[in-house]
Amino acid sequence: MSTDETKLARVALTWLAEPGTRSVYALVEQIGPVGALDLLLSGGAPERTLRSAVAARAAAGDARAVAAEALTRGERLGARLVTPDDDEWPAQVRDLRRLALSGATRRVDVETDPPLCFWVRGAWPLGETLAHSVAVVGARAATPYGSHVATELGYGLADREWTVVSGGAFGIDSAAHRGALTAGGRTVAVLACGVDRPYPMGNAALFDRIAETGLLVSEWMPGAEPLRPRFLIRNRVIAAATRGTVLVEAAARSGATQTLNRALGLRRHAMVVPGPVTSAMSVGGHEVLRERPDARLVTNLAHVLEEVGRIGYDLTPPARAPERPRDRLDEEATQVLEALPRRRALDLESVAARAGVDLRTAMRKLSLLEELAMVVRRDGGYALAPPPASPT
């Protein structure tokens, strides 16, 4: 069988049945793409739903001719087809074989097998680009807060030479891509339609920039329409292709939370940026954090790198308030310092009594505090030193 015949069969199969269909992927595994295509076209699909879906599609056109036309069209617009036979195939998407979403009943949650092929626009090899990648996903109707956070994360990840992966929607997706582009890094938009089809139209210029410096990727052939279920079908690829997924903002029961569920199902790092509880756009993320103990709350780039980073790299120190001189005092010195009233001076005996230490200790600690310029002698006693003047 020629490579071209195999490629053509993969494209035709993706047109006949939506990507992810388990019985199609299983057939391809068993008898190869060409055999699988022959079987489907001769009405031999193993299950009824698939048979009627294939029949409906086949009634609308010749699958091989459609695929051949797509390959020509792809070539014309500079989109290449990448299949598992190519060196640049991202092997990690094969993990989708073992994805089983709990409580799945909808077709998009059940039919989550690996892609048969990818259409790619952009110069970088697909596999290498995705090997070291993090998905940043979230709502179309993002708030300025969410867009800000997604831009910062996109920028920071790209700046640390991680590839940013997202969809092509307005809101969080666009913000993450823009951040990565600003950092001069690589960003990948995984689309739910043909890579030649700017959807939404308003992102056409963004897609062109991404194709120049990163990659536009799709399972669907050039010209394919962004039908609604395709966004959810596509989401499994975003989760599977990356080391982890960060959810920035999402309404309850939204597509972005479902990308995160797929990441969780694949045992990829699933991260959520919290937000104000007064924002509807943070409800989805908070719900995931409440329901899934394996989802991790992240608030900044360091937290994300701590999750996905290589051991020994990219580790984050815990958040700390700035150190103050008094943090270095021992317990008794602290007690003595805290026994001094805000304004008045106190004699030695009163300081000792208030601090609950003996006179000798009080005297020793007051001397230390004097040396540290935290205490001054005044009115025959001891008082807090005035705060240092602010720098001018």
Would you tell me how many other CB atoms lie within 10 Å of the CB of residue 363?
Answer: 16
Q: Which is nearer to a copy of itself, 145 or 170 (CB)?
A: 145
Angle at CA 155, nearest 5°, toward 153 and 161? 100
Closest separation between CB of residue 158 and a copy of itself, Å? 19
Closest separation between CB of residue 138 and a copy of itself, Å? 13
378: amino acid identity, one letter: R
Closest separation between CB of residue 341 and a copy of itself, Å? 8
Cα–Cα distances in angstroms (integers) from residue 382 to residues 89, 305, 353, 356, in the given order: 74, 50, 14, 16
Residue 25, both tokens:
């992927």
Burial of 278 (0-12, 13-18, 19+ CB in 10 A): exposed
Would you tell me how many other CB atoms lie within 10 Å of the CB of residue 76?
Answer: 10
Closest separation between CB of residue 95 and a copy of itself, Å? 26
Closest separation between CB of residue 52 and a copy of itself, Å? 4
What are the backbone dihedrals phi and psi of residue 136, each rounded to the nearest 5 degrees, phi first? Answer: -120, 110
Closest separation between CB of residue 231 and a copy of itself, Å? 10
Residue 63, both tokens:
């699958």
Q: Which is nearer to a copy of itself, 213 or 334 (CB)?
A: 334
CA–CA separation, 180 and 165 (whole Å): 10
- DSSP structure class, residue 168: S
Query: How many residues comprise the chain?
Result: 392
Residue 218, both tokens:
């799709």
Q: Which is nearer to a copy of itself, 188 or 333 (CB)?
A: 333
Q: Which is nearer to a copy of itself, 47 or 358 (CB)?
A: 358
Chain residues binding a copy of itself by CB under 8 A are 17-18, 52-53, 55-57, 59-61, 106-107, 145, 148-149, 225, 227-229, 251-254, 273-278, 282-284, 286-287, 289-291, 293, 296-297, 299-300, 303, 318-321, 331, 334-335, 338-339, 341, 349-350, 352-359, 361-362
Q: Which is nearer to a copy of itself, 342 or 388 (CB)?
A: 342
Q: Which is nearer to a copy of itself, 130 or 306 (CB)?
A: 306
- Is residue 28 a contact partner of residue 36, using CB atoms and an 8 Å limit? yes
Q: Which is nearer to a copy of itself, 321 or 389 (CB)?
A: 321
List 166's β-bridge partners, or say none. Answer: 189
Closest separation between CB of residue 329 and a copy of itself, Å? 11
